[in-house]
């Protein structure tokens, strides 16, 4: 979502990653961690598909939100193949919907002449 905050009401966050494992180096495993500061809130090991004919794996998965508290969170993706391991991280922000925006729209409709 290119840095846009995620609404707490969404309930899930999507993750997409492109992997290019070494050929014939064994199966690939992925671990995804959601953190707030140094605290690990959730961890998952989604199933990883086999590489396509070009050798690429696209991981696209939705995860339940690690918390319903607004704030900044980090997601760490660790990829392991054989003895090799690599990781990447990014962050996202959870926000609540703007109750004033919802309320003013509701009031405007309710106050409209009939």
Surface-to-core class of residue 30, CB atoms within 10 Å of its CB (0-12 exposed, 13-18 middle, 19+ buried): buried
* DSSP type of residue 21: P
Looking at residues 101-107, what average pLDDT do you find? Answer: 45
Residue-range domains of the chain with CATH: 6-111 (2.60.40.2550)
Q: For position 105, what pLDDT does the model report? A: 44
The radius of gyration of the chain's CA atoms, rounded to the nearest angstrom, is: 19
Q: For position 98, what pLDDT does the model report? A: 63
Using the predicted structure, report yes or no on whether residue 76 has a pLDDT greater than 50: yes
């Amino acid at each position: 979502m290119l840095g846009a905050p995620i609404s707490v009401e969404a309930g899930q966050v999507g993750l997409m990653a492109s992997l290019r494992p070494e050929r014939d180096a064994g199966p690939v495993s992925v671990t995804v961690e959601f953190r707030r500061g140094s605290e690990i809130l959730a961890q998952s090991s989604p199933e990883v598909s086999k590489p396509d004919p070009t050798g690429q794996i696209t991981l696209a998965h939705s995860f339940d939100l690690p918390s319903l508290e607004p704030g900044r969170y980090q997601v760490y993706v660790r990829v392991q193949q054989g003895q090799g391991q690599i990781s990447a991280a990014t962050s996202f922000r959870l926000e609540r919907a703007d109750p004033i925006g919802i309320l003013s729209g509701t009031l405007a409709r309710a106050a409209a002449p009939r």
